[in-house]
Structure 1
Amino acid sequence: MLSFLAKRVPRTTTAGLNPVIFDNGRSSIEFNSPNAQYLVINRWPPASSEANQNIALRPPIHWHRYQTEVFHIISGSAQFTYNGQEIIKTKDQSMIIPTQTFHTFCNASTTEELVIEFVLEPQWKDRDERFFRNVQSYRDDCRAAGVSRSLPQVLLFNYFGGVVLALPGPPAIARFLGILMNYFGGVILGKYILGYKESYPEYYKAKT
């Protein structure tokens, strides 16, 4: 193991907090009760600057290997990038992202906060909560430390969350290469060579 080569950042203890506050109070994630229709509620600041577009909650273009994702807009408006198209959804509207579809989303308004809730698949709520808590807390800690995220660490989170980065090229080839990148970059390099973990106790405590 070559863990001494890994990029380490101080981890803020966010496990058990609900909501979890990011970006110096500008954004947050809140986890609903297990019997709620949606898993999480995101609060985004207005998209009035590049800094607000790079908040901890904003995902890169990605896809889910096994799960359909369903969004519901509580207030404000969201811009979805969906297979290369830009789609705007506003209050009380929903957006369904089928399995293996390339997508991302952000606040569409430069003046209003976005409040959006979503879920992947109800039976995977514990796994998805672990993924969101680790990914977003890690990203915020990197922001606070002024360092870029480690790609092997991100890929390791993604591997165990069923999330794959959307690579350029024909979709079938891009999906295959994305899966390989998750495994070799995240599991082999990230976990077994650099010593990263798929979850950290500072970020997530398993439910008993």
Structure 2
Amino acid sequence: MLRFLAKKPPRTITAPLNPIPFDNGLSSIEFKSPTDRYLVINRWPPASNTKSRNIALRPPLHWHRQQSETFHVLQGSAEFICDGVKSIKSAGESITIPARAIHTFCNASSTEGMVVEFGLNPRGQEDEAFFRNVQSYRDDCRKAGVSRSLPQVLLFNYVGGVVLALPGPLIIARPLGVLLNFFGGLVLGKYLLGYKECYSEYYKPEAT
């Protein structure tokens, strides 16, 4: 109905790639074996690089409706924020973020790259599809010089069980975030604007 209003940057074919380079090679994501404890490896540039402040891998404050998330730092140091508490983890250290905890993370070092692996528990069938779509879409928007469509982001989040952290008291902000995913992502994004939950350029099960 409103599909002419949708912003759809040209999509780069990343489905066959593993690892996938982003941000002109500054960062990358690599998916591990399904039998591995961790799902994915992220590689980040040093935080001093101004271009690294908004790389495709950097998540906004968010929470997972049903999954906990465990991070293990392989190289460098990572800064985590979990329910307002900041902590630094160095190579060899791990941290588990409980389900529904508001969190984000980034490279804590201004001079050294960061490599971190992480996984979700319980692991969902579409976890890899979620990360491939979200981060490939974000990088394609960067390449095209356009801002991301909030309804598209919310649709990805809706199917991935991820909710943006909204300001205000949690008793109000949490249900509002869930409703925003449903109405902004599913109703507006999918049914009115014609966005998809998954794009074949970004993810094909047989290509991974």
State which drifts further: 166-175 or 151-160. 166-175
In structure 2, what is the equivalent of residue 3 of structure 1?
A: 3
1:187: which partner in 2? 186
Which residue is equivalent to 2:139? 140
Map of 1:71 onto structure 2: 71
Query: How far, CA to CA, are the matches of 2:101 and 2:50 in structure 1?
Result: 26
Alignment pair present for 1:197 and 2:200: no
The C-alpha deviation readout for 1:124-152, integer Å capped at 9, x for no partner, is: 1x311000000000000000111100000
Structure 2 CA distance for aligned equivalents of residues 82 and 177 of structure 1? 20
Whether the 8 Å contact between 2:133 and 2:202 is mirrored in structure 1 is: yes
Could you tell me which runs of 5 or more consecutive residues in structure 1 were left unpaired when the two chains were aligned: none
Offset, 1:8: 1.2
Aligned residue in 1 for 2:112: 112
Aligned match of 1:39: 39
1-structure distance, mates of 2:50, 2:152: 24
Bigger shift: 58-67 or 82-91? 82-91
> Which secondary structure does the structure 2 equivalent of 1:104 belong to?
strand
2 CA distance for matches of 1:50 and 1:59? 16
The CA deviation at 1:49 is 3.5
1:88-125: CA deviation from partner (whole Å, max 9, x where unpaired) = 0001000100000000000000001100000012531x
- Long gaps (5+) in structure 2: none
Counterpart position of 1:84:
84
Give the conservation status (yes or no) of the 8 Å contact 2:68–2:122. Answer: no
Describe the SS at the equivalent of 1:30. Answer: strand
AA aligned to 2:56 is A
Q: Equivalences for 1:18-37 in 2 at 5 Å?
A: 18-37=18-37
Where 1:167 maps in the other structure, the secondary structure is: coil
Q: What SS does the aligned partner of 1:134 have?
A: helix
Tell me which amino acid in the other structure corresponds to 1:136: Q
Distance 2:101 2:72 in 1: 18
Cross-structure match for 1:150: 149
Question: Normalising by the residue count of structure 1, what TM-score does the alignment of the two structures yield?
Answer: 0.97
SS of the equivalent of 1:120 reads strand
Report the CA distance between 1:51 and its aligned residue.
2.0
**1:162, 1:122 → 2: CA distance?**
12
Identity over aligned pairs, percent: 67
